[in-house]
Structure 1
Amino acid sequence: MTDRAPAKTGLWRDIRRQFLRHKGAVFGAYLFAGIVLAVLLGPALWSIAPDALDFSARNAAPSLAHPFGTDQLGRDVLAQVLVGGRISLAVGVAAMVLSVGLGTLVGVSAGFFPRLDGPLMRLTDLFLSLPLLPLLLVIVMLFREALSAAVGTEMGIFLLVVTAIGLTSWMPVARIVRADVLSVREREFILAARASGTTRFRQITRHVLPNVLSPVVVSATLGIANAIITESALSFLSLGFPSDFPTWGRLLSDGVVYLAEFPWRVFWPGLMISLTVLSVNFMGDGLRDALDPKLRARTARL
């Protein structure tokens, strides 16, 4: 009778197993994947163009011809929701990359280099003390026309909105990463690497960053939801994309005037925003649990 060879389990396999145990995270992942596929493939599969006018069907209720109804110009709301989702998700992902990258850089620098800790944290406190929405409004109003004239309306507004959201949402990430780096910095393997003459850059990239991966990934998932909500608020206030670029927030802004008579104008884009934010939050909860080594070890013993 021979002994059975131990099962080969790696880090990513354990993370995947723990993530799949979280039913809410799995549901969120499927829901988010469905939304992404819908906005990427939907415009190609849906025969009606988002800018096609049909004045005979203005403000039509949902039907087989127009499942989400039409707007005041007879444009199909489903087509607009699908196309607008591309812009909203692109803004969310791009702004998340900028905010998480900047927050991680500030957090690691403040936590690993004691001389930079004070100045960088005071800078973080300064940004946290600024009123977010008024600051975004000022940034958009100051640079909107200049960027639109330089690179075009759509690209100019996209770059402006992404940059504004990214530069005003990195502070929580920086604080979370700094706290983890302060804890990791005094661990035995960091002290051993320092004693062996390992450069600081290699210490950070090889030992520090992998051990603060959990809060970074969770912040990244939640950052997408935060960016989509912020872009929707700017578009709702008519300071984001113009009306011919139907983001979900812009569709909400255009439909609120008709809320009493044609509530579906607001319902569908609002539902897409809610489902996207909900799915991303569920995924963030699952990733937080899956990336927690203590929880993975406790689950493996069960």
Structure 2
Amino acid sequence: MTDVTTNRAPRNQWWDVWDQYKTHKGAMVGTIFFALILFAVLFGPWIWTLDPTQIDIRSRNQGPSLAHPLGTDQLGRDLFGRVLAGGRVSMAVGVTAMALALVLGTLVGVLAGYFKRLDGLLMRLTDLFLALPLLPLLLVIIMLFRDKLSASFGPEGGIFILMVSAIGITSWMQTARIVRGDVLALKEREFVLAARSIGTPNRRMITRHILPNVLSPIMVSATLGIANAIITESALSFLGLGFPPDFPTWGRLLFDGVDYLQQYPERVLWPGLAISLTVLSVNYMGDGLRDALDPRIRGR
């Protein structure tokens, strides 16, 4: 009798990451909530066809009903449709600004960690940005470039580019510091020293050996960056410095509802609840990713 052995392909490490991620209850609940919110803001306007910008003075300041599940505002516009439309804008700003901040932070972190002669200069630049007060800096950027970009790309397009650029260039510093620390540790690993000993050029060293091994902190920074970008955009829109009044975002809906807070508090409740649930779910997802991507925790 002979033993028959079968050679199994090695298990993909991402399955181990998923197995660990599933054990984090908060992360799974956050993932479900975020998926529901994302589905609602992306596909809701096709399901709920009522125009969120349509003005109907005869239906203004109505409470929840079958025709208007969340009621109407002072101009008779449907609040449910405006929350869905505002979610698309807020999500788009958050994801795009996060991507910009991630690219800048990863670039600065890798260059500072890998090239010793650039480390001091780039880290002092990072410290300078960290020392700047974020909100006043954003206000100055918006006041300086708002009219120029609006004239070039239109009111909505110009403000979108301005929001994404302003949030992105003021949110990359934490990612840069995290990536730099990991790159400094990776430079002394055996596989990097072996690759350097056979004459691997710096560009290939970074793209082949460094970047794939700093993917974990980058992914965690990405999830947390979305939450920070959504909060920043909402704060700027709440201050009246965001998109035009007829272009709804969650922050703009909060700004519009403040004047009617005592008579109609639900106008502030719904967009505020959407922001809170989105940010909370993304933070839980980031917490779960951090644990799942940590090899010291994975498998416990």
Backbone CA RMSD of aligned residues: 1.3
Deviation of residue 47 (structure 1)? 2.9
- Render the CA deviation track for 1:156-194: whole Å, top value 9, x for unaligned: 000000000000010011011111111111111111110
Write the distance in 1 (CA, Å) between the matches of 2:252 and 2:44. Answer: 19
Deviation of residue 292 (structure 1)? 1.1
- TM (norm. structure 1) is 0.96
Write the distance in 1 (CA, Å) between the matches of 2:6 and 2:230. Answer: 51
Deviation of residue 200 (structure 1)? 1.1
**Structure 1 match to 2:51:** 49
Write the distance in 1 (CA, Å) between the matches of 2:178 and 2:68. Answer: 46
Write the distance in 2 (CA, Å) between the matches of 1:178 and 1:190. Answer: 16
**Structure 2 match to 1:135:** 137
**Structure 2 match to 1:229:** 231
Which runs of structure 2 are paired with 1:157-172 in the superposition (5 Å)? 157-172=159-174
**Structure 1 match to 2:115:** 113
Write the distance in 1 (CA, Å) between the matches of 2:126 and 2:250. Answer: 31
Which amino acid is 1:208 matched to?
Answer: I
Percent identity between matched residues is 67
**Structure 1 match to 2:74:** 72
- Render the CA deviation track for 1:201-227: whole Å, top value 9, x for unaligned: 111111111111111100000000000
Write the distance in 2 (CA, Å) between the matches of 1:210 and 1:5. Answer: 27
**Structure 2 match to 1:19:** 21
Write the distance in 1 (CA, Å) between the matches of 2:10 and 2:193. Answer: 30
Write the distance in 1 (CA, Å) between the matches of 2:209 and 2:20. Answer: 23
- Range with greater deviation from structure 2 (178-187 or 55-64): 55-64
**Structure 2 match to 1:97:** 99
Which runs of structure 2 are paired with 1:203-222 in the superposition (5 Å)? 203-222=205-224
Residues 161, 152 of structure 1: alpha-carbon distance in 2 compared, 3 angstrom cutoff: same
SS at match of 2:296: helix
SS at match of 1:295: coil
Deviation of residue 64 (structure 1)? 2.0
**Structure 2 match to 1:156:** 158
Deviation of residue 120 (structure 1)? 0.2
Task: Give structure 1 stretches of 5+ with no counterpart.
Answer: none
Aligned residues: 298
- Range with greater deviation from structure 2 (72-81 or 204-213): 204-213
The runs of at least 4 aligned residues of structure 1 exceeding 6 Å deviation read none
Deviation of residue 76 (structure 1)? 0.5
Which runs of structure 2 are paired with 1:260-299 in the superposition (5 Å)? 260-296=262-298, 298-299=299-300
- TM (norm. structure 2) is 0.96
